Structure 1
Amino acid sequence: MATTPERKVMVVAIDESEHSAYALNWTLCHFFTPMPSPLFKLVLVHAKPYATSALGIPGPGFAEVLPIVDGDLKKKAAKVVEKAKEICRKKSVTDVEVEVTEGDPRNVICEAVDKHHASLLVVGSHGYGAIKRAVLGSISDYCAHHAACTVMIVKKPKTKH
């Protein structure tokens, strides 16, 4: 009996930004629809920040606020996941695995690539300039240098004024 080869894995990083939604939408349009049998297994990955990193330096009341902040971060992650699932549903892409992992997005994304033996990683570009990128860091730049697969950075077209 012949076995069917396993599909390659594509990891798409998602967050709450419009750049992320655009990258997911673009990816679905170009790789998943209208094909009856997609070439890739789709894994969406969202990095939820640690509550302690969202709060910064501990101070008075830190322990009391921590569960509240963590709850808010979980709600935000659930909204990110639901928005991504809705984008997939609108494109009739139903075979989707979604992961929410706590940690720094750079590490979470690269670890997901390793875990799933991904062939392709898709990240959106926030379009930061050189100064903002130097101050904030660029997740897409980090992934392009550290992910163990091909990395595609999807840029949202600039709007004309």
Structure 2
Amino acid sequence: MDLLIELALTGRIGPVRAGMPLSEAEALLGPGRPHPMLRMRPDADGYPYFWGSLSLEVSGGEVTRVELRLRPGTRLELPAALGSRHDGASAEVAREEFLGALKEAGCSFEADDQSAVSGQSSVTTQAGTTAFFVEFSASESVQVAGYYLVSLHNRG
């Protein structure tokens, strides 16, 4: 949870932040796995590079968005440079649990009604980080029906 709160509070994860050159991110994290469009057109802009659960959207050789992608029923996969204590943590974060952790950390947030549609909701934090939640029914991956965090991202 502390990794999620760090991104929510600061818009960054350790030294990884929007505005940094992709070359600097890759020097820190190792080579990313580029989106398939980047394999076809290396000069394409606005597509992400992936390091497991971490994705960095890139335009003009610069990181424009830092995102943690979560999927209930799975585990976080993160580059070693971000600290091995986070790798393998549960990627199942209930909305109320996350919002409670934000409040406890003193991180203010507002509901973002513009991006909410049926079965989805989002909040934006004081750092401009958006937390996006999707409603899941009870299933093999989610034991308790409810809203779960699926994306936490910051454009800087």
Q: Same fold (TM over 0.5)?
A: no
TM-score, normalisation: structure 2: 0.29
TM-score, normalisation: structure 1: 0.28
Q: Which of the pair is proportionally richer in strand?
A: 2
Which one has a bigger Cα radius of gyration? 1
